[in-house]
Chain A
Amino acid sequence: MSTRTGLAGDRSVTGPEAARATRRPARRDLTPWLLLTPNVLWLALFLAGSLITLAVISLRGYEPGGRGMLDTWELTHYVNFLTDPFYYAVLWRSLGMAGQVTAWCLVLGFPLALTLSRLRGVARALFYLAILMPLLTSAVVRTFGWMILLANNGFINRTLIDLGLIDEPLALMYRMSGIVIALVEVLLPFMVLALDAALLNIHPQIYEAARNLGARAPRIFVQITLPLSLPGILSGSILVFTLAISAFVTPALIGGPRVEVMATLIYQESMSLLNWPFGAAIAFVMLFTLLILFALTFRLGSRVQPMEAG
């Protein structure tokens, strides 16, 4: 190998000198930091700033109709929310609603996800698109569609009556059942995508091996598919539950003033009644609930995680 290359500024040498020369530490490249800082700063400022402000406000007293927000420090709002039967009921109602929605999304989402995970090429792209399409339309639009369907003289009721399955129209609007139906539809794509990702991770030969060993479809589903798709079930459930418990548009439009959930209560207290402290307290109760949920799922998840499927 030549030791001179003839290029200007090139001082290539060989031997021990070269080794010593290359041991100089590299100059710190600041570019990534330049790129990241605006976003990090801004996020830290806005997210942290707003959440801290909210926390502080949740601890302030409030005088309705009087001086409004006070300069005091008190836990009244948290105590109120968690002990007053009316508000307590809202909490449980919201948890129950989110639980039902999650369960139904799992039941309805699995068949779609199973099919999606088995498709390839164009068929899969089309199926995927069909599942994503609803997400392109906003929640308001889809909820409006449900309002039309769920009304007493709406399509669902009229069809059921025409088919002779019921005599009186089912009250679905302004009821929890209507909210659940609509929320399940709105959030189903999220569950399907989470399940699909997990199902794709399962090597197809595992199914073949199971069939070869004599197992039929039900046994394969219970003993192979379900356990191996657990990571997807967990991540999908937590996503859907989070979105369900904090859902505003759908419960507001379909539940109306009759069915109050946490999100609509927060809005009402803070925007209509201007009781920011109370609204803030409810918001934090919601965050704490979600935090507990995340922690539980994380512990469950880490016990399930070390399974590389095939």
Chain B
Amino acid sequence: MTDLELRDLSKTFGHVTAVDRIELAVETGELVALLGPSGCGKTTTLRMIAGFVIPTGGAILVQGRDITDQPPHRRDMGMVFQNYALFPHMTVYRNIAFGLHARGASKSEIPARVTEALELVGLATMVERYPRQLSGGQQQRVAVARILALKPKLLLFDEPLSNLDAKLRVQMRHEIRRLQKDVGITALFVTHDQEEAMTIADRIAVLNEGRIEQVGTPAEIYDRPRSRFVADFIGTSNFLDGQLIDGRFRTRSGIDLPIPSAPEPRDARVLSIRPERIDIRQSGKDALLQGTIVRVTRLGGLLEYGIELPSGETVVVHEQSRPGFEHREPGASVGLGWRLEDARLFNA
């Protein structure tokens, strides 16, 4: 079932269009990440879904019902904030009970539901503590428990891990994912950290300047980016400008590159290939491009080569470092090749 549907959703602030007619459908039990650079509209979109921002156009549907005009306190969804937003003057117990009271749960069932929620996040012993007595990770878990106690239809995460240090962030992201899967709740996760999105999301919606550039599984987004922006934002890519001529891609510098038989889009102007998909071979007829190594950088277990083509353009290649072999020498002439289907074509 489609738990959440965004239809033509827009938000303008004066002259600025923060969210531009986005469409999205989220299925039950999915964790969809809203990923993009700052200012791309992902947080505004989330806040519209939660009800804190009123859309200027479009509709939001939850399980088929249009909730666009519903005030925040009536929506059946829980939001986990970046700063946890726990009530500092209430114990963990009262923090979690707050929502239950507000939604009219009966006095007798509240203790059980609070305990249930805390056990889900593994903090049953912290019931009487105050937020200031808990660590950042614990506070985050209480924030999640506070929502889970209400058994909402949707979980909304607003960059919840940005305030945590790196190690804790990785640990918490897996915990959140595990929790979400165990409970089976549909979730929307806003982040600017692509590693985070790639690790935990079932699908990723990549946003740029208020528009959704692409929605897909992490593998789809990575291997088959549908726009230059996505190819550039996710991981790294090489870009060569040019145009399609006679079933081949002619770069601006005049080199003809072979492409798969039914190229799309027809009027492509850019060919893109990921650094790790290029392999270095002997220069010669087998190679698609020829160049000179101008730079070698060690990136942990990876070697990064900067290769200058005769036209002056640079191509970046990633190679696994091999035991016993330092690296190729700068100045060496090399050939570059790749599987045709690994190259992507874009309009601009």
Contacts and interface: CB of A to CB of B under 8 A. Distances in A.
A15 interface: no
A215 B83 contact: no
A103 B143 CA distance: 36
A224 B51 CA distance: 20
Contacts of A153: none
B85 A206 contact: yes
Interface stretch (B97-105, B196-204, B225-233, B246-254): B97-105
Contact of B89 (A213, A216, A219, A228): A228
Given A208-B72, A215-B73, A215-B98, A310 B103 contact: no
A289 to B, nearest CB: 30
A72 interface: no
A206 B79 contact: no
Contact of B83 (A203, A212, A224, A307): A203
Contact of B81 (A208, A214, A224, A308): A208
Q: Place the interface of chain A in its size category.
A: 20 to 34
Contacts of A228: 88-89
B85 to A, nearest CB: 4
A16 to B, nearest CB: 39
A228 B79 CA distance: 21
B150 interface: yes
A199 to B, nearest CB: 14
B146 interface: yes
A209 B79 contact: yes
B132 A308 contact: yes
Contacts of A212: 50-51, 72-73, 75, 77-79
A200 interface: no
Interface string A89-112: 000000000000000000000000
Q: Which of A215, A227, A308, A309 has its CB near the most chain B CB atoms (within 10 A)?
A: A215
Q: Which of B72, B89, B103 has its CB near the most chain A CB atoms (within 10 A)?
A: B89
B89 A205 contact: no
B338 interface: no
Contact of A208 (B52, B86, B98, B143): B52
A273 to B, nearest CB: 52
A307 B85 contact: no
A222 to B, nearest CB: 12
Contacts of B74: 214
A274 interface: no
A206 B98 contact: no
A210 interface: yes
Q: Which of B51, B72, B83, B85 has its CB near the most chain A CB atoms (within 10 A)?
A: B85
Given A211-B73, A215-B98, A219-B102, A306 B83 contact: no
Interface in A247-272: none
Interface string B49-76: 0111000000000000000000111110
Contacts of A227: 89
A159 interface: no
Nearest to B47: A208
Nearest to A215: B102
A224 B85 contact: no
Nearest to A304: B89
B222 interface: no
Contact of A209 (B75, B81, B89, B103): B81
A213 B98 contact: yes
B150 A213 contact: yes
A227 B102 CA distance: 17
Interface of A: 203, 205-206, 208-216, 219, 223-224, 227-228, 306-310
22 contacts: A205-B81, A206-B85, A206-B87, A208-B52, A208-B79, A209-B86, A211-B72, A212-B73, A213-B78, A213-B146, A214-B103, A214-B150, A215-B73, A215-B98, A215-B99, A215-B102, A227-B89, A228-B88, A307-B88, A307-B89, A308-B88, A308-B132
Given A210-B102, A310-B85, 10 more contacts: A205-B81, A205-B85, A208-B72, A209-B79, A209-B87, A210-B98, A212-B72, A228-B88, A309-B89, A310-B88
